[in-house]
């Protein structure tokens, strides 16, 4: 299989415009004859379903939550980037493009990223017109803040709830189409399989989470906007229900999975406090502007009251190692250093499973310098949140923080049209691999989700539909639907019949521990090989010893979780394999074997300047690797340095 990204050639600045002009259109009178199935109602899915509905297509939208408004996009805090240059500080489409390619450590497609930067400005217009209450200046115009990885202020925000406000905007557009009758919304509905007929995506199998009923849905195109797979680590900043099921099932049906090992770790999260912990909470990175990161010099001081330790008993390790960037080094560098000091036994805080995994983020000096009230004005809501979760007062005791899994850059492989290698299967938002390379910049996921959903997918899906035409005779009685539904039902019955001794979550935690240890912040050949042995064992025990109580009639949350965990137990192996295969370090993927003399990530452009796309060959069979070479015409490849 040769992977063709189908990028338009010619000057990059006009590529998308020219491409759009060359696309076919569907006659307005014919649009309602096409069924478009959109799985996911986050920013990407809601925006796409609403826009396709406005165009007059017959849309079905699905989500597993009880309302489309609760998709995980709701939790995004910081903001959304756009190259508006409202601050007149030298921003431009080209600069946003450049920053994103560089931030991704040169592992993304230039032409996709350029289109993203172009569209960014339309997103802000659209959101404002919908009534999204972005922060404003006294003059009534939109305000901006700056964010990591950029020297300009191009981030638009709505307090610490930007994702919520953008999602509610997309949800309102979706609701309008539901009222208009163009979109049918199916909440509490989980996609369990993709149906492919003659090489084309033709439908999905779903389970109604309220009644247990399995249903077949026939479509002319299928859109997956089902978010990221960070929950393979069990503990992450993702919502509890985030899963890999939809994209993994598509992978099992022949869609290629690209760069699964590219995951992003966020350095400032509230640490794990006990074995019961169910998720991790992110604290905004902005805290590193004033907080100083340290651990005790000696492991013996790990349990002492931090305020009792004198200056020479503290190791401000980031300031020591990176004198010019200090506490403001990028996410991956800050995260790895925290891990290293904890590995040395100098971690602080609660002991969980025999280890202390936290470092101090100390505001003592900042409070001395600018006063408590200034710090309160800057970070009051974050300090309040920290207190609510930990019961401690960060104005008096240093915060404890630790890195956590936050975002997944990998996803289903798509071409420039956001179509996977399966015809008619489109993949949007965090679920695809497209724009962030090996590392995503802050405030760029919201931008990508909305760009995909509002502006990129609607014309490319229309083009596809115009080319394939309508009137094919497929209905839910087709053999392929019957087989897929039968298999989904068999798997549910199998899970329900095991009646073993262990709860579902215990397997998820066990898998998460392996992933975090061996395929987390830093990875080695030995560790990954060990994980590749360990994961099949956990999976085997799961299928023998899990206990899924109840039946398939009505709400059964154990069954929902069991299905998702079963998929993670296969997917984890694919991630480790990809991480093993990529013997270089790049972005969020750090291979200890590939580092500079100072311990920084070292890329290997000669051997790894490609996208790795995996083809499924069977559960216990090694998948086939396909490579899409990456060409850089506009941005020069350089080594990152933050010393």
Partner 1 sequence: MKITLNVWRQSGPDAAGSFVKYEVDGVNADMSMLEMLDVLNDRLESKGEQPIAFDHDCREGICGACGFMINGVAHGPEKEITVCQTHMRSFKDGDELTLEPWRAMAFPVMRDLMVDRSAFDRIIQAGGYVSVRTGSAPEANATPVIKDNADLAFEAAACIGCGACVAACPNAAAMLFTSAKVSHLGLLPQGQPERDKRALDMVAQMDKEGFGHCTNHGECEAVCPKGISVNFIARMNRDLLSATLRSTR
Ligand X SMILES: Cc1cc2nc3c(=O)[nH]c(=O)nc-3n(C[C@H](O)[C@H](O)[C@H](O)COP(=O)(O)OP(=O)(O)OC[C@H]3O[C@@H](n4cnc5c(N)ncnc54)[C@H](O)[C@@H]3O)c2cc1C
Classify the C-alpha dihedral 173-175-181-183 as positive or negative: positive
The yes or no reply on residue 609 touching ligand X (CB under 6 A) is no
Residue among 139 and 354 whose Cβ is closer to partner 1:
139
If one asks whether residue 28 binds partner 1 (CB under 8 A), the answer comes out as: no
Residue 33 or 502: the one with the smaller Cβ distance to partner 1 is 502
DSSP tally for the chain: helices H, then strands E: 17, 21
Joined together, the tokens standing for residue 185 give: 């919304």
Work out whether 216 is an interface residue with partner 1 (CB under 8 A): no
Q: How far is the CB of 245 from ligand X (least distance, A)?
A: 4
- The answer to whether the CB of 541 falls within 8 A of the CB of 569 is no
Q: Considering only residues 621 through 640, tell me which ones interact with partner 1, judged by CB under 8 A.
A: none
Site string for partner 1, 248-267 (x = CB under 8 A): --------------------
Does 119 help bind partner 1 (rule: CB under 8 A)? no
- Name the binder of 226 from ligand X, partner 1, none, CB < 5-8 A by kind: ligand X
User: How would DSSP label each residue in 333-345?
Assistant: HHHHHHHHHHHTT
Among residues 45, 56, 260, 623, which is the contact residue for ligand X, using CB under 6 A? 45
Torsion on CA atoms 530, 532, 536, 538, rounded to nearest 10: 50
The verdict on 67 binding partner 1 (CB under 8 A) reads yes
Q: Does 368 bind partner 1 (CB under 8 A)?
A: no
User: 98-127 burial, b if ≥16 CB within 10 A, otherwise e?
Assistant: bbbbbbbbbbbbbbbbbbbbbbbeebbebb
- Residue 14 CB, shortest distance to partner 1, in Å, is 19
Using CB under 8 A as the binding rule, whether residue 126 contacts partner 1 is answered as: yes
Which residues within the stretch 368-407 sit at the binding site for ligand X (CB under 6 A)? 406-407
243 interface partner picked from partner 1, ligand X, none, CB below 5 to 8 A per type: ligand X
Question: Pairing state of beta strands 399-408 and 359-362?
Answer: antiparallel
- Label residue 395 exposed, middle or buried (CB < 10 Å: 0-12, 13-18, 19+): middle
Distances (CA, A) of 412 to 39, 104, 406, 567, 579: 14, 17, 18, 15, 16
> Which listed residue (26, 48, 55, 63) binds ligand X by CB under 6 A?
63
Between CA 83 and CA 100 the distance in angstroms is 12
Give which of partner 1, ligand X, none residue 269 binds (C-beta under 5 to 8 Å, depending on kind).
Answer: none
Helix residue ranges, H only, 236-371: 245-252, 317-321, 331-343, 364-370
Shortest spacing between CB 176 and partner 1, in angstroms: 5
Count of residues near ligand X by CB under 6 A: 44
Is position 497 an interface residue for partner 1 (rule: CB under 8 A)? no
Near partner 1 by CB under 8 A, which window of 219-227, 234-242, 513-521, 635-643?
234-242
Number of residues that bind partner 1 (CB under 8 A): 84
Check residue 178 for interaction with ligand X (CB under 6 A).
no
Identify which of residues 161 and 595 has a Cβ nearer to ligand X in the complex.
161
Residue 150 sits in the site that holds ligand X (CB under 6 A): no
Q: Restricting to residues 269-308, name those near ligand X by CB under 6 A.
A: 282
Neighbours of 537 (CB within 10 A): 11
Cα within 13 Å of Cα(280), Cβ side: 30
Residue 432 · residue 5 · CB < 8 Å: no
* 3, 20, 30, 86: which one binds partner 1 (CB under 8 A): 86
- Minimum separation from the CB atom of position 75 to ligand X (A): 4
Name which of 73 and 522 has its Cβ closer to ligand X.
73
554 binds partner 1 (CB under 8 A): yes
- Nearest one of 128, 165, 54, 72 to 462, comparing CA atoms: 54
């Amino acid at each position: 299989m040769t992977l063709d990204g189908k990028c338009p050639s010619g000057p990059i600045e006009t590529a998308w415009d020219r491409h759009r002009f060359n696309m076919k259109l569907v006659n307005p009178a014919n649009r309602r004859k096409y069924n478009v199935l959109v799985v996911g109602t986050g920013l990407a899915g809601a925006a796409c379903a609403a826009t396709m509905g406005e165009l007059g297509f017959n849309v079905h939208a699905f989500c597993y939550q009880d309302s489309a408004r609760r998709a995980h996009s709701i939790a995004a805090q910081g903001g959304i980037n756009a190259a508006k240059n409202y601050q007149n500080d030298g921003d431009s489409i080209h600069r946003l493009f450049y920053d994103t390619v560089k931030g991704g450590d040169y592992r993304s497609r230039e032409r996709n990223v350029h289109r993203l930067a172009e569209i960014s400005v339309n997103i802000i217009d659209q959101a404002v017109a919908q009534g999204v209450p972005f922060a404003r200046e006294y003059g009534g115009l939109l305000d901006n803040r700056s964010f990591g990885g950029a020297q300009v202020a191009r981030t638009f925000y709505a307090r610490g709830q930007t994702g919520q406000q953008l999602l509610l905007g997309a949800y309102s557009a979706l609701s309008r189409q539901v009222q208009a009758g163009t979109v049918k919304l199916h909440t509490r509905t989980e996609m369990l399989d993709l149906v492919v007929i003659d090489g084309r995506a033709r439908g999905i199998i779903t389970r109604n989470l309220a009644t247990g009923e399995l249903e077949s849905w026939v479509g002319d195109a299928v859109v997956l906007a089902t978010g990221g797979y960070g929950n393979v680590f069990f503990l992450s900043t993702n919502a509890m229900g985030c899963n890999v099921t939809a994209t993994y099932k598509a992978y099992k049906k022949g869609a290629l999975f690209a760069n699964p090992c590219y995951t992003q770790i966020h350095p400032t999260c509230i640490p794990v406090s006990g074995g019961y912990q169910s998720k991790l909470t992110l604290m905004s990175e902005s805290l590193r502007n004033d907080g100083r990161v340290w651990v005790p010099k000696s492991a013996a001081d790990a349990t002492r009251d931090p305020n009792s330790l004198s200056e020479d008993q503290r190791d401000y390790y980031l300031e020591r190692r990176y004198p010019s960037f200090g506490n403001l080094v990028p996410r991956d560098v800050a995260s790895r250093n925290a891990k290293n000091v904890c590995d040395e036994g100098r971690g602080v805080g609660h002991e969980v499973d025999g280890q202390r995994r936290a470092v101090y983020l100390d505001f003592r000096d900042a409070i001395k310098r600018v006063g408590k009230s200034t710090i309160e004005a800057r970070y009051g809501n974050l300090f309040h949140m920290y207190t609510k979760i930990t019961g401690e007062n960060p104005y008096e005791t240093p915060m404890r923080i630790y890195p956590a899994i936050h975002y997944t850059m990998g996803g289903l492989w798509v071409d420039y049209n956001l179509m996977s290698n399966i015809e008619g299967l489109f993949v949007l938002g965090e679920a695809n691999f497209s724009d962030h390379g090996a590392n995503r910049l802050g405030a760029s996921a919201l931008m990508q989700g909305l760009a995909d959903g509002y502006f990129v997918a609607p014309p490319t899906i229309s083009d596809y539909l115009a080319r394939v035409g309508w009137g094919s005779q497929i209905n839910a009685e087709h053999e392929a639907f019957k087989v897929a539904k039968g298999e989904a039902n068999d798997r549910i019955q199998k899970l329900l019949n095991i009646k073993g001794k262990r709860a579902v979550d215990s397997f998820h935690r066990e898998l998460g521990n392996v992933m975090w240890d061996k395929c987390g912040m830093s990875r080695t050949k030995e560790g990954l090989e060990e994980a590749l042995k360990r994961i099949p064992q956990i999976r085997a025990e799961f299928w023998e010893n899990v206990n899924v109580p109840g039946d398939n009639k009505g709400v059964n949350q154990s069954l929902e979780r069991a299905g998702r965990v079963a998929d993670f137990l296969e997917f984890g192996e694919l991630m480790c394999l990809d991480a093993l295969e990529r013997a270089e370090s790049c972005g969020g993927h750090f291979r200890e074997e590939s580092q500079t003399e100072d311990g920084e990530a070292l890329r290997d452009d000669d051997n790894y300047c490609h996208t790795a796309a995996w083809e499924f060959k069977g559960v216990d069979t090694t998948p086939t690797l396909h490579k899409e070479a990456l060409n850089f015409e506009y941005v020069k490849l350089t080594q990152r340095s933050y010393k």
